[in-house]
Amino acid sequence: MDLRDSSPSSTPNRDGNAGDDDGVLSVTSALAKDAALYFQSRKFAECVDVLNQLNSKKENDPKVLHNIAIAEFFRDGCSDPKKLLEVLNNVKRSEELALASGEQVESGSNIGNNITSGSKGSGTTTSLPASNCASIIYADEFDSSVASLNIAVIWFYLHEYAKALSVLEHVYQNIEPIDETTALHICLLLLDVLLACRDASKSADVLNYMEKAFGVGNVSQGENDLAASVNASESPLSRTLSEDPLDEMFSTLDIGGQNLARHTGLTSANDLPRITVDRSISGVDLKLKLQLYKVRLLLLTRNVKLAKREVKHAMNIARGRDSSMALFLKAQLEYARGNHRKAIKLLMASSNRTDAAMSSMFNNNLGCIYYQLGKYHTSAVFFSKALSNCSSLQKEKPLKLLTFSQDKSLLITYNCGLQYLACGKPLLAAHCFQKASLVFYKRPLMWLRLAECCLMAVEKGLVKGSWAPSDRSEVRVSVIGKGRWRRLLIENGTTRNRHVDSVERDVWALGDDGQPKLSLPLARQCLYNALHLLNCSELSNSKSILPSDSSLEENELSDGASSKNSNYKNLPSNDSKASTMPAALINLNGDLKEPKGGTNQEGIQTFISYYEDICRRENQMIKQALLANLAYVELELENPLKALSAARALLELPGCSRIYVFLGHVYLAEALCLLNKPKEAAEHLSIYLSGESNIELPFGLEDCEQWQVKKHIDCEEANVGAAAAKNSSPEGLEDFMFLKPDEARGTLYANLAAVSAIQGDLERAHHFVTQALSLVPDSSEATMTAIYVDLMLGKSQEAVSKLKHCSHVRFLPSNQQFNKSS
Amino acid sequence: MGKKMLNFEEQCKIVNLLKSSSEQKSIEETLTEFFTNPKLRHFNVCYSLSLLLQDKMMLSSTERLVAFAILHRSYSSQKSAANPFISFLVNAACDEGAENYERAFILHLLGFGNSNSSKEFLKQSASEYIKKFDPSSQTFPQKEQLQKQYLEKAHPEPYACLLKSTAVKNVLADPDVPPGCDVNSAEFDLEPGAKSKLGSGDRDEALSGLIANLSLEGLIPHWIRPLPPRFPVDEELVWLNPDNNHELQWDQGMCADTSRGAAVRDLIAKALRGPLAPNQQEQVLVELANDPKLVYHCGLTPRKLPELVESNPLIAVDVLIKLINSPEIAEYFTVLVNMDMSLHSMEVVNRLTTAVELPKEFVRTYITNCISSCENIKDKYMQNRLVRLVCVFLQSLIRNRIIDVKDLFIEVQAFCIEFSRIREAAGLFRLLKTLE
């Protein structure tokens, strides 16, 4: 025991004043023990007292300072996490500093007798992975892992996942030397952070590591572990089994049992912090935890089939324990499969209505379900309930650390934004998105939504300087004179240059509420932000191995045909693809660790690369939408050159959907036309021509499917119990806000007519515009082109009669102001 | 809501001009009077007049002449080709349907065929001009001739959007008369004081209404610009699940007793310099076994590994096995594979192969290094010794199925043949043969 005293520590600072004195050593360790005991029994004031005594004996010991900060934080009711972060960061820095100086001493003393040190540098074996030979620690005294963990915990609770991740990843790289308890906490937190960041590949890695390192995988039979279950799922037998109705019955039985046990489980988990020296989580608890992480990972990667199996397994483990998480996950699973009624039932079974945090999540999730059912107003009611749960949560005293993370109001606000957008309320929606941007600012989709708010506001005439919707689609005609002298003067005669003069040029002009005003320039800025973010993420993903595009296309075809009901139609079935993409099995994240298992790992990698395919395809979809919107906005802002390049970029995207191809061509042609290149414009539109003068449908109904609300009305409203659900009127007002295939065809005819007219080919223009009017009789643009063609052909009578028959014409009495005043 | 072409003053000006045309004032006089206002926007005024002229009925014959004169006079200080309305004038001069006096008047304005280009004809009033007009005195040239003379040297068109430059007049005649009646019949003109009847209307009212409402923008073909669809909401809604609880952790390392670690560290430091006594070795192994994390804190670094291997191979094996999950293990392997071949290093590798799964590349490289060490050694005695060692080592690897012989077959075979004089090499060769 006393060996340490006989050999003065090589590290400078730590035991400097304790090293020679047995008495001091025992006093400090006794004090440390007392402090720990106080801390465990949550007597934080006493704990801080003891720690202060300790601090006076061992001045500036980083670990003492660390524990003081933690204890004070709890003593003060978790009120100031930012301050705690500051202290912890200082502690971490000083520990790392001490460590570095310790290492210097160490290496310096050894240079002399280290004869073979050269051999390391001159290594000829390039094939071995070069590891990061950064600072590897042996001096346990200056281990900063606990401080790092705590820093990450706080970031996590503040929803700053990227910051938490960067701290944790650094620690995780070097997790082996860290003691079991801390390492376990680090891994668990890392998993939560990674899942929050939706990083499937690294999550799988950590999960896999945990199953190995914490011996959980070994406890269970082979099928429990993630990899094995992936492989197992490929046997058709297991799949058919899970469809068995009996299974469903068992799981409902499970729910009943857990309902009873939950209350005690939940409260105890919240009230008793498990701060113990020993492993703080029992074997079964850990097993359940890992199982639930596994389910979350599977849900994230949209592996519904497997998730179903695994969640059942989790339910079995959870028997008699707190399982609200398991129930929520099960509900999420059913939600993802489109079984909305079942999802509602599961939520009902799990909800602890007295707990504000739980009921906010409960209401939010119900809101999601009703949104998917197309009942936007009902979903609005639930979202706003969820928000008010959140605000009551914030009022609770004393604050718990968990309270910060339980405040999901920003996430719910995002959902609200989507719902307002669906209901056609762009101003409210934009307000929500702007609020939620604190969390979502890195997601391209959020910026796209904000841009959509701008476009919708402009379209609805809610923006200063834009026309009211009625004005926009209307042809205004002044009627001048009477009798034989009556003349019709068509106003609104030229291009719709409705915004340029009036809209403020300052993109971020703030409104009265301090929020940026919606405008077309703002829309453009948002779209650029989204594109930038998307390109960044593409760059960082480009190192992963992509399967060839052709195989992607194949999947798309087969999937579209097979599974139309599923939300996850993009997910290829496991077995069909396994052989085609061996390249993807290579460790995707470039982790240093050697591929650990043999074949099992491949299974995981396969489904993760499926997921990455899905993400890639989703990003492609987003990119199409972004470029289409951008081209539209630039046209509206009268920047045909920029519109041209956006439309070109859109058409160059691989695997562009037919709707966006159509838009790309239409925008591109208009831009070309505005740039005095009617011939090229006509060429772009002509790709839809078959034969001389017949236009094909640019896209089919099946292309619109993605936009339609999946309304399996399998939901018995009465069961929901919420009053709001009952007054559900037929909603889905703005379900699909785009042209039907026939209307798109009419659009092409009308635009071809315009191009032909500009080129002076009036015959052709006449033919096209006649076709257009038969397909889109209500289009004022087509009518105007038709009138133009008639006038050019000298048929003014016909022009007048077209004008009179068009439903969008408003005849205004002439302005006699002049006569009166003269 | 196109912009109004004319401001109020201009509107008055035009209305007055048209009124005065019927008076007995000379055209010249009327023109001079009209152009007294310097603020007049010539283009807008002329464009309005040209629009009115296009409506054949709207202006009276005298008004038309005055209007044509204005169109010409507005730009008469420049070359005729620079007049933006020159082609309009030329077309009007060639319009077969128009009155001959009007066509002749325009030709006069343009100075066609009249070398002395006298302005005499402007000294009379418009009505006088019409009255005195002698159809036989005037020949009408071909349109091409006129175009050649007045348009050819026209400036290239300045840049203008085609869509807009193809605009057509946006005023349509929509006479409101009973069916079957002649629109041009004067019976529908409103007689002052008379009771208005169906189809009647006041020309002056219509004219001033038109003048007040004319806009610069004509009617053009319209383009349909569909609004892009809203992006579908699929996985976008945020589903919430209960959080895992992550508590802040107490740092147990505070004032912890680290003496045991210090003891091992001292022993390891000693072990680098020479073999440890058996009891010391035992102590190290026991302490390392008791605390699985101690190995990371015992003071060993990759750089120091060769010394440990040479002095205490057993401890080295134990430490490496415990470090197998360390991120640094690759570096340890790199050092191990590159250190000088020796009995001890081979022993360490051999033991490692049986205890843990080593990276294939590592084993391969190690064997290759072994073979080349044998070949490069100069001292015959030492060489024999090393070759025998390598052979035994390889046999052990093959027998324990640590390596797949196929990977190294040629290399090992060549090695066996090169050193076939040594008994162990021959034995290894036979072993290879049996595996073939």
Kindly indicate whether the domain formed by A688-707+738-821 is annotated with CATH number 1.10.3470.
no
Q: What is the pLDDT of residue A594?
A: 35
Give me the CATH code for the A303-439 domain, please. Answer: 1.25.40.10
The residue ranking higher by pLDDT, A502 or A78, is A78
List alpha helices for B291-400, DSSP H: 305-311, 313-322, 329-338, 343-355, 360-376, 380-399
Under 8 Å CB pairs connecting chains A and B tally to: 479
* CA–CA gap between residue A334 and residue A304 (Å, rounded): 9
A678 touches chain B (CB under 8 A): yes
A177 to B299: CB separation less than 8 angstroms, yes or no: no
Pick from A445, A492, A494, A815 the residue to mutate for testing the B interface (most B CBs within 10 Å): A494
Query: Which has the closest alpha carbon to A16: A61, A53, A50, A55?
Result: A61
Nearest in space to A190 (alpha carbons), one of A176, A177, A178, A207: A207
The answer to whether A123 contacts B237, with C-beta atoms less than 8 Å apart, is: no
SS3 content of chain B, % helix, strand, coil (to 5): 55, 0, 40
Using the Cβ of A383 and the Cβ atoms of chain B, whether some distance falls under 8 Å is answered with no
Helix (H) or strand (E) holding A36: helix A22-40
Query: DSSP class of residue A16?
Result: T
**Cβ separation A818–B231 shorter than 8 A:** no
Q: Answer whether A481 sits within 8 Å of B206, measured CB to CB.
A: yes
* Test mutation, A293, A449, A487, chain B, max B CBs within 10 A: A487
Residues of chain B with pLDDT under 50: 1-2, 115-116, 156-159
Residues of A in contact with B371 (CB under 8 A): none
In chain A, residues with a C-beta closer than 8 Å to the C-beta of B173 are 486-488, 796, 800
Would you call A129 helix, strand, or coil by DSSP?
coil
Partners of residue A129 in chain B, C-beta under 8 Å = 330
B250, B260, B362: residue with CB nearest A70: B250
Please name the member of A3, A448, A493 whose beta carbon is closest to the beta carbon of B218. Answer: A493
Which residue in the block uniquely carries the two structure tokens 């019949």?
A: B185
CA distance A283 to A212: 14
> What is the separation of C-alpha A65 from the centre of its chain, rounded to a whole number of angstroms?
38
pLDDT of residue A473: 66
> Sign of dihedral through CA atoms B379, B381, B387, B392?
negative
The highest-confidence range among A406-420, A481-495, B102-116, B399-413, by mean pLDDT, is A406-420
Whether residues A114 and B303 touch (CB distance < 8 A) is answered with: yes
Least CA distance to A182: which residue of chain B?
B249
CB contact under 8 Å between A119 and B164, yes or no, is no
Nearest chain A CA: its distance from B418 CA (Å): 24
The order of strands in the sheet holding B171-173 is A809-813, A475-480, A487-490, B171-173
What DSSP string runs through B35-80?
Answer: TT-TT--HHHHHHHHHHHHHSTTTS-HHHHHHHHHHHHHHTTTS-G
**Residue B199 and residue B188: Cα distance in Å, rounded?**
6
Q: How far is CA A745 from the centre of its chain?
A: 35
Q: What percent of chain A has pLDDT over 90?
A: 20
Asked if the model's pLDDT at residue A332 lies above 50, the reply is: yes
**Interchain pair B328, A36: CB under 8 A:** no
Question: Which residue does chain B place closest to A762, by CA atoms?
Answer: B221
Say if the Cβ atoms of A485 and B175 lie within 8 Å: yes
pLDDT tier, A316 (very low <50, low <70, confident <90, very high otherwise): confident
> How many angstroms separate the CA atoms of B121 and B101, rounded?
12
Higher pLDDT, B211 or A531: A531
Q: What mean pLDDT do residues A394-403 have? A: 65
* Structural Rg of chain A based on CA atoms: 33
Adjacent-strand bridge partners of A811: A477
Cβ contact, residue pair A489, B273, below 8 Å? no
Which residue of chain A comes nearest to B12, CA vs CA? Answer: A822
Q: Among A694, A42, A353, A617, which residue's Cα sits nearest to residue B250?
A: A42
What 8-state DSSP symbol labels residue A548? P
Alpha helices in A542-677 (DSSP H): 549-562, 574-577, 599-636, 640-652, 658-674
The pLDDT of residue A642 is above 70? yes
Q: DSSP 3-state assignment of A375?
A: coil
Two tokens, residue A554: 């194949």
pLDDT on residue A383: 95
Length of chain B: 436
Mean residue pLDDT of chain A comes to: 72
Q: State how far the Cα of A503 lies from the Cα of B24, in Å rounded to an integer.
A: 53
Q: Kindly tell me if the per-residue pLDDT of A820 is higher than 50.
A: no
- Which of the pair, A21 or A49, is modelled with greater confidence? A49
The label of the residue with tokens 């990371």 reads B296
- Residue A101 has what pLDDT? 65
Structure confidence at residue A3 (pLDDT): 38
Closest CA to B60 of B156, B226, B189: B189
Written as six digits, the tokens of A643 are 């519109």
Which of A156, A162, A164, A181 lies closest to A402 in space, CA to CA?
A: A156
CB atoms A632 and B228 under 8 Å: yes
Whether A494 sits inside 8 A of B164 (CB atoms) is yes
Average the pLDDT over each of A145-159, A406-420, B280-294 and give the range with the smallest value: B280-294
| Contact criterion met (CB below 8 Å) for B37 and B13 | yes
Q: Which of A409-423, A506-520, B128-142 has the lowest mean pLDDT?
A: A506-520
Chain A residue with the nearest C-alpha to that of B166:
A758
Tell me the C-alpha distance between A412 and A362, whole Å: 11
pLDDT higher than 50, residue A264: no
pLDDT band of residue A797 (cuts 50, 70, 90) is confident
Furthest-apart CA atoms within chain A: distance in Å: 122
Query: How far, CA to CA in Å, does A771 sit from each of A670, A697, A776, A814, B409?
Result: 19, 13, 9, 33, 78
pLDDT of residue A611: 86
Pairing status of strand A694-695 against strand A809-813: unpaired
Nearest to A275 among B166, B247, B359 (CB): B247
| Residues of chain B neighbouring A2 (CB-CB closer than 8 A) | 259
Min CA distance, B338 vs chain A (Å)? 6
Chain B closest-CA separation from residue A600 CA (Å): 17
CA distance A174 to B265: 20
A488: phi then psi, degrees, rounded to nearest 5: -110, 125
**Is residue A432 within 8 angstroms of chain B, CB to CB?**
no
User: 3-state DSSP call for residue B172?
Assistant: strand
Whether chain B has a CB inside 8 Å of the CB on A185: the answer is yes
Contacts of A477 (CB under 8 A, 6+ apart): A488, A489, A490, A491, A803, A809, A810, A811, A812
Q: Show residues of chain A in contact with B179, CB under 8 Å.
A: none
More confident residue, A147 or A141: A147
Judged by CB atoms closer than 8 Å, whether chains meet at A753 and B221 is answered as yes
> pLDDT tens digits for A695-716?
888 887 777 776 665 444 443 3
CA distance A767 to A754: 11
Q: Which of A420, A447, A485, A566 to mutate to test the interface with B (most CBs of B within 10 A)?
A: A485
* pLDDT, position A434: 92
Considering only alpha carbons, which residue of chain A is nearest residue B362?
A128
Distance CA A63, CA A84 (A): 14
Closest-CA distance, B134 to chain A, in angstroms, reads 31
Min Cα–Cα distance to chain A from B292, Å: 9
What pLDDT digit, counting tens, does each position of A654-671 carry? 888 889 999 999 999 999
State the nearest Cα–Cα gap between A541 and chain B, in angstroms.
20
CA distance A801 to A798: 5
Cβ <8 Å between B335 and A120: yes
Distance of alpha carbon B202 from alpha carbon B186, whole angstroms: 11
